[in-house]
Structure 1
Amino acid sequence: MSDKNLRNYAVAAVAGATLIAGCGNNPNDHGDNKAAPTITVLSSKADYVTGGDALVEIGLPEIVGGATPTLHVLLNGAEVGGAFRPDPAKPRHLVGLVANMKVGANTLSSSYGGASATVELSNYPLTGPVLSGPQTTPYNCQTQDFALPDGSKLGAATDAACSAPTKVHYLYRSTAGGALKPLPAGAALPADLATTTTSAGASVPFVVRVETGTMNRGIYQNAILFNPAKDAAPTPLAPPAGWNKRLIAVHGSGCSSGWYVQGAAMGVSPYTGNYLSRLGEGYAVFTNTLNHPTNSCNATVAGETTMMGKERFIETFGVPAFTVSVGSSGGAYTSEQVADAFPGLFDGVFIDTTFPDALAIALSSMDDKLLNHYYTSSQSGLVGEAQMVGVSGHKSARAWYDMAVQSGRTDPVSGRVETIPTTGSFGGPYLAGAFNAAVPAAQRWDAATNPRGARATVFDINRNVYGVDAKGYALRPFDNVGVQYGLAQLNDGSITPDQFLDLNEKIGGYDGDGNYTAARTVGDAGAIKRAYQSGLQLGGGGGLAAIPVFDLSYIYDEDNFFHYQWFHFAVRERLLKANGDTKNHVMWRGGISFADLFGQTTPGMAERAAVNAKAQADGWAAFIKWVAAYKADKGAGTQRDKMIARKPAEAVDGCFTNSSNPQFIAQTQTLGSGGAAGSCNALWPSWSFARAQAGGPLAADKLKCELKPVAAADYKVTFDAARLARLNAIFPNGVCDWSKPGVNQTAVLPYASFGPSPVNPVFDVSKP
């Protein structure tokens, strides 16, 4: 059958069914319908097509009277209508994969019954970038080290963009259980093949199709139930029978050393652990090495990569009913940041061990390292360790020191030694200028021997957003001008006025290379504004405003390794400030300690593990019920309205009793400790951080504060004239006015572009 006949056949099949259904009911069946067809890009936004193809839906108007017209679909003037087929689920709609787009602008038009529609599509290479700005150099390919499901390697990169051929493997689950096993290509289904029943009620063989390829210089994988003995090659209109039409985006963890590499591993496999169970339920899973912050601590690139990965999945298998993101620690903040800065990619996030963003860790750790430097240096003299713990806001000295250790990710000087106690810490030593072993020594920055080399900091890997100085080093948003460290302790009497003055007089700051300075640090105003616009500083008022955010502790440990509860509450506060309420945010507390995680047998370890298992299972069930309910609501109202209205009764704040049979306590979660703050705070208490003790907001969202004059009336203690004069000398331009928005504080700009996309342009680091 020719393309033209096939096209006419497809149209007749759709339009004919409509005419039969509508026969005799339309008073205007004597004339032609001149309404235009509709064109909808299903696989991505029209502005961000990648790889030369896009899944497109054509909606046809109902034809009243006369012969069935011929549908024409033109790409840049060439007929491509033969790619379209009727969508059996939607009368008068056809779906097709439009391929062979040129890089740049493309025009797609559709005509039917005398009327036409046109849409412009912007296509970018599969190797990227789209909107994350100039790709980072140096960059080290690792396809040759990436292990495939059968144990072989993906192979050497075929170009400078670290590309490699796409490969498909099949894995199956045995009736004996355990991990998936390789199913050799062309082999018959094995006798020990297990079956699984999906959430949609389909009983299918437990065989998983894993596709591995490259995009945006990263390595991607998607996994889905697929029976190679029965299922036809997947298409968007004929997906595998085992797919329940639900999609999970997976993010890894970490951040330190996450720069200048492609990544030789995902961080979280899409077909092992919890995701093996999800696959058995019919979910599909997708991820990329650049969605693992230990490979790439760059949320803008992670969002761009997620956008491209979801596009690839839809073009292969079709549009999911919904997509949710799952992540822990670095995967939690990546989930939140991508959801907020790239609205529409996710319909919900299910996270644990949560931070607002990588920046929150970096900036809080820089404060704590300054406090540590003051305390351990000969210049301090006045404030004792217990008092300094109070100033830091943390539960203990161990917690304070562990947070300070994390400032290594902001320090480019490899091998720098800091006097920060690490004995008894699960956080490890202070590691400045830390690189993945795949980054050759010759590429690494050294101020004396290689000043143009790659700098190992969380700022430099995001240089496209922050901008660079005259040396080419990233500008920094850290600022502590006007910050009154220990203000709360001064006011409650736990430090004296002289101790407060000494601390703030000597606290100092950093230069751009991480060296201590006597003067406070002035953050770059442009870098600060772009941090907000890009979502590197999580705002909460973008895509997160309209989707469920389900937040678990997983790790509860206020004494070790910086995964502290206040970060969870900072996320909630940002949502509150951006949206007026936190009805879309649910927090469940209780979890294991780092001693448990590192295999040390400690009292209550089994009980804490039971809490985690209960929270994960019950939390996931409540979360998915919530997402499915609001996505199924096709009524009037905004997505946020429907999402809040469809929130299930079990999706409420609470915590778990610390027992082998954990019981859920429904209670609004608040930052605090002790029974007076509620039973959950007695079971799972939480502490604070240095900026909050300095009067700053729990949201930790003001990168640079507005200043106000020093006023004696603002303090609960009395300064004599000499001390007041000293206070004014310490803060000659004033102290932080936390009642005002931060300097250059602004909302996230969805799909903010740092190049090459011309849509929503913010900044181009390549231009002076």
Structure 2
Amino acid sequence: MKSFQLRRHVSGAVLGSLCLIIAGCGGSDSNDESNTPAIAAPTATLLSSRAEYVSGGNALVDINLPAVPAGTAAPALKVVLNDADVSSAFKADPANPGHMIGLVSGLKDGDNNLTATYGGSPAALKLTNYPIVGPMFSGPRITPFICQTATLALPDGTRLQGQPNDPTCSAPTNVQYAYRSSANTFKPLPDPKALPADLATITKASGETVPYIVRVETMTIDRGISQITMLFDPSKDSDPSPTARPRNWNGRLVYGHGTGCVGGWYIQGGAWGYNPLNDTWLSRGYAVASNTLNHPTNSCNAVLSGEAATMTKEYFIERYGVPAFTMTVGTSGGAYSSLQLADAFPGLFDGVFVDATFPDALAIAMSGMDAHLLSNYFLGGSGSAATFTSAQQAAVSGYANPLTLVANGNQMGRTDPVPGRSAPTFPGVGNYAPAVWNAAVPTALRYNPTGASPNFAGARPTVFDASVNIYGKARNPLDPSGASSYALRPYDNVGVQYGLSALNAGAITPTQFLDLNESVGGFDTDANPVPARSVGNAGAMQRAYQAGLMLSGSGGLASLPIMDTTAIYSEDTSNYHMQWEHFAVRERLIQANGNADNQVMWRGGPSTAPISTGNALAISTFEQWMEKIVADKAAGSAIEKVLRNKPAAAVDGCFDPSLKFIAEKQTLGVNDSTCNTLFPSYTMPRYQAGGPLAANVFKCQLKPVSAADYKVTFSGPELARLNAIFPSGTCDWTKPGVGQTRVVTWPSVGPSAANRIFDVTAQQ
């Protein structure tokens, strides 16, 4: 699984044909050299990235030298970058006979041409380079942006930089060493040649016992802070390179993503979401990497996260060589980050191992907005709302009870830019929290439309505005000056019949159904509740699909092994990690690819911790799956190799209280199977309104109101009222959503022109 390898060469046959046509290619009409055996063209392969996405002025290139005919002297390899001879950068690859590998430096920003000649016709690569500070494809830099190189702590307790002094948040690369102590903690190792008495050891798969010492390399990439860790033996290892790898590294890479999303805007990140100094993976011999922009609590923007991961992995390959495979891991927000990046940027990762899964940040935000509308209605004190019992509220919402409904409704706070707003609450649920900010962002830079001195020009703290380069923007209609803008919103509930399933099941009356849908309302651009239903922006919806902000499942995930685990179960509390979100991922895979055979789902298990320390059986099962795929050199597509190499243990199931594994296909439900009795799983408002479990429709297509669609009989006045509530019609869930489309893999919103889906700078 050598991700990012692109084979681009110009064959000698093609050049030879051109020489027959174009005068002056050299040679003569004589046949003096007709008996000289020809040397085939070499093959040039870019190892470190895609050719259109090179960063930092460097590229790791492999040259496969062709066989030299018997009796012919081996020629010299000549490699030219633009007009500069870079042949000296290439050395024999000790792991790959017949190949030369070289880190080519000095690429200019923009297009570069590299040619490799070995006695015959040349091979050629066109490489498009971007600055290491970005951007490549995430669009114009978001502003404001707070540098935090002076905040993030290194293993020895120092900071990456004493004081940020670069507007791009750059800092010098730092290398430190840490060791695992006999007390099972990591400690700084100032001198890797002076080994401490409490140094722990690791026994490798070969049986060799080695010191548990870790090389920690920290650098700034794409305005984020990246860190790479791996085992390092100071008595035997030289400075790492693609041809001199640390001997205790197993050749595999784990890429970690942090949790959360709330507050994930306008900062570089002063803390890791997924700490690369990670015993779970380092003790197994893996290298671990992450970037602070891969922590949604720092940056809740999946396209920017994809760019940061792309550039960080490129740096890793240029420094250490191509890993046998790269596994992406994460919990909660890290789970949806892993899934979204693996899908939108195929080749970046080779396997997905996630816990406490959501499909994407939008699944939380959109279901939260629906739930918040219902919470506001049920707790608003109206006479019609008072007729709903707790059981009826649960039936309408899909959640187990009103407490969980309100808790999930509070998650729309990440879409609300107005500070200090209150909302109806419920005993046992924390207060509604809109406009959550990281303390590093000065108050003067924050959006605030209220108070004596409103600040409409401030940055808006929402999941939509964090990705404004994808959603697009418009003038803020609530700003009296008309000078400020807001990110266009995809949320739409026109035609949504809340409580439809409860009505058809006889759980609520027609009057309650009509009262609810007449009163539920929507939100304006500042998330203020309004009487009218919300109308989403069609362009924003389509681009969210194209960019993978709404997980598709049709990109890289179609051919990767996926292990989905969870130990968070409390469907009847204030928890908002719902099991339906796991099944929404599965449904999207099925919709996109016809099946989800490459996804394995486990519920419960021997650990309540996230996968950073988690389920050892799940880890070993997934490792076995990945290793078998890597070892499979037989013919077949990527998905064929994924499926035929599934270990026997890689089947759906759950764990009972005694930690016995129960092999059972995992389904959404309550008490209808052994696992659903142990782990009952509820739904969400839009599913109870007839929407898909995949939860991937922003805006439904509409159809005329028809009495035949209901299992109850409406009176004439009730039917007239129904038509008045839904003058444009009701949702036709048998059709795709408005603007719904597959992900555009490797999407760009600038500056790259490759796979460009949008240019926010063109908006007025």
TM-score by length of 1: 0.91
1:238 to 226, 236, 244: 244
Residues 410/244 of structure 1: CA separation in 2 closer, same or farther (3 Å cut): same
**Amino acid in structure 2 at the alignment position of 1:495:** I
Report the equivalent of 2:746.
751
Q: Which amino acid aligns with 1:578?
A: A
Other structure's SS at 1:354 match: coil
What is the CA distance between 1:375 and its match in structure 2?
1.2
Match of 2:43 among 30, 38, 48: 38
Q: CA deviation at 1:60?
A: 1.2
Q: Report the AA paired with residue 299 of structure 1.
A: A
Correspondence list, 1:350-429, <5 A: 350-379=353-382, 380-381=384-385, 382-421=387-426, 423-425=427-429, 428-429=430-431
3-state SS of the aligned residue for 1:115? coil
Question: Which of 643, 661, 664 is residue 661 of structure 2 equivalent to?
Answer: 664
SS at 2:312's partner residue? Answer: helix
Question: What residue in structure 2 maps to residue 80 of structure 1?
Answer: 86
Q: CA deviation at 1:611?
A: 12
List aligned pairs for 1:496-645, cutoff 5 A: 496-559=509-572, 560-590=574-604, 609=608, 616-645=615-644
1:459 — aligned with what? 464
Superposed CA offset, 1:579-624 (max 9, x none): 1011101000126xxxxxxxxxxxxxxx874999997111111111
Contact 1:353–1:554, Cα closer than 8 Å, also in 2: yes
Could you say what secondary structure the match of 1:135 adopts? coil
* Residue number among 36, 61, 68 corresponding to 2:74 in the alignment: 68
Taking the aligned partners of 1:610 and 1:323, their CA distance within structure 2 comes to 23
The CA deviation at 1:679 is 0.5
Q: RMSD of the alignment, in Å?
A: 1.8
Work out whether residues 199 and 282 of structure 1, in 8 Å CA contact, stay in contact via their aligned partners in 2.
no
Is structure 2 residue 180 aligned with structure 1 residue 173? yes
1:564 corresponds to which letter in structure 2?
Answer: M
- SS where residue 128 of structure 2 aligns? strand
1:243-285 Cα offsets, whole Å, 9 max, x none, are: 10010001110000110111110022111xxx21321221000
Q: Give how far 1:56 is off.
A: 0.5
1:75-224 alignment runs, 5 A limit? 75-155=81-161, 156-174=163-181, 176-185=182-191, 187-199=193-205, 201-224=207-230
* SS class of match (2:502): helix
1:317 and 2:331 matched: no
Q: Is the 8 A contact 2:267 2:299 kept in 1?
A: yes
Q: Distance in 1 between matches of 2:610 and 2:160?
A: 39
In 1, Cα distance between equivalents of 2:197 and 2:377: 68
Going from structure 1 to structure 2, the CA distance change for 1:419 and 1:347 (only over 3 Å counts) comes to: same
Q: What's the CA shift string for 1:3-53, capped at 9, x where partnerless? A: xxxxxxxxxxxxxxxxxxxxxxxxxx9743342111111011111011110
The answer for unaligned runs of 5 or more in structure 1 is 1-28, 592-606
Structure 1 match to 2:234: 228
1-side partners of 2:35 and 2:407: how far apart? Answer: 79
Tell me if the contact between 2:378 and 2:393 (Cα under 8 Å) persists in the aligned partners: yes
AA paired with 1:489?
Answer: A
Verify: 1:334 aligned to 2:333, yes or no: no
Residues in 2 aligned to 1:435 and 1:615: alpha-carbon distance in whole angstroms? 30
Unaligned 5+ residue runs, structure 2?
A: 1-33, 477-484
* Aligned residue in 1 for 2:18: none
* Contact 2:667–2:676 under 8 Å retained in 1: yes
The answer to whether the 8 A contact 1:200-1:244 is kept is no
Equivalent residue in structure 2 for 1:447, among 437, 446, 449: 449
Distance of 1:520 and 1:190 partners within structure 2: 66
Shift in alpha-carbon separation, 1:539–1:60, aligned structure 2, 3 A: same
Is 1:709 equivalent to 2:704 in the alignment? yes
Distance in 1 (CA, whole Å) between partners of 2:122 and 2:347 is 28
Query: What does residue 762 of structure 1 align with?
Result: 757
| Partner amino acid, structure 2, of 1:664 | F
Say whether the 8 Å CA contact 2:342–2:348 is kept in structure 1: yes
SS in 2 for 1:669: coil
One-letter identity of the residue aligned with 1:37:
P
1:19 equivalent in structure 2: none
Query: Are residues 1:296 and 2:299 paired?
Result: yes
Q: Distance in 2 between matches of 1:767 and 1:658?
A: 57
1:647 corresponding residue in structure 2: 646
Aligned twin of 1:700:
695
**How far off is 1:240 after superposition?**
0.2
Structure 1 residues 200 and 400 mapped into 2: Cα distance closer, same or farther (>3 Å)? farther
Partner of 2:52, secondary structure, is: helix
Tell me if the contact between 1:49 and 1:124 (Cα under 8 Å) persists in the aligned partners.
yes
After TM superposition, the runs of 4+ consecutive aligned structure 1 residues lying more than 6 A away are 610-615
Given that 1:33 and 1:62 are in contact with CA atoms closer than 8 Å, whether structure 2 keeps it comes out as no
Question: Could you give the per-residue CA deviations for residues 440-499 of structure 1, whole angstroms, max 9, x where no partner exists?
Answer: 001000225211110011110010000001232000010001000000000011100011
Write the distance in 1 (CA, Å) between the matches of 2:434 and 2:153: 29
Name the structure 2 match of 1:21: none
Name 2:683's counterpart in structure 1.
Answer: 688
Superposed CA deviations along residues 500-520 of structure 1, whole A, max 9, x for unmatched, are: 011111111001110111111
Q: Distance in 2 between matches of 1:542 and 1:455?
A: 31
| Residues 247-262 of structure 1 aligned to structure 2 (within 5 Å) | 247-262=253-268
**2:39–2:67 contact (8 Å) kept in structure 1:** no
Instruction: Quote the Cα distance in structure 2 between the aligned partners of 1:666 and 1:79.
Output: 60
Contact 1:484 1:735 in 2 (8 A): yes
Which of 52, 60, 64 in structure 1 is aligned with 2:57? 52
Q: Is the 8 A contact 1:476 1:524 kept in 2?
A: yes
Q: Report the Cα distance in structure 2 between the residues aligned to 1:217 and 1:612, rounded to whole angstroms.
A: 28
Give SS of 1:144's match.
coil
Q: State the Cα deviation string for residues 153-196 of structure 1 (Å, max 9, x = none).
A: 1112231111111111111123x231122111365223433321
Residue in structure 2 matching 1:284, options 282, 287, 292: 287
Separation of aligned partners in 2, 1:612 and 1:304: 24
The counterpart of 2:494, out of the listed 459, 469, 481, is 481
Distance 1:753 1:612 in 2: 31
C-alpha separation between the residues in 1 aligned to 2:611 and 2:272? 23
**Contact 1:552 1:615 survives alignment (8 Å):** no
Aligned AA (1:432): P
Supply the AA of the counterpart residue of 1:45.
Answer: R
Contact 2:354 2:611 in 1 (8 A): no
C-alpha distance in structure 2 between counterparts of 1:615 and 1:514, whole Å: 38
Secondary structure in structure 2 of the residue aligned to 1:766: helix
CA distance in 1, matches of 2:610, 2:187: 31
- Contact 1:189 / 1:229 at 8 angstroms: preserved in 2? no
Change (3 A) 1:590 1:85: same
CA deviations over 1:51-79 (Å, ceiling 9, x no partner): 11011001111110321112110001210
- How far apart, in 2, do the equivalents of 1:645 and 1:612 lie? 25
Retained in 2: the 8 A contact 1:143–1:153?
A: yes
Contact 2:653 2:661 in 1 (8 A): yes
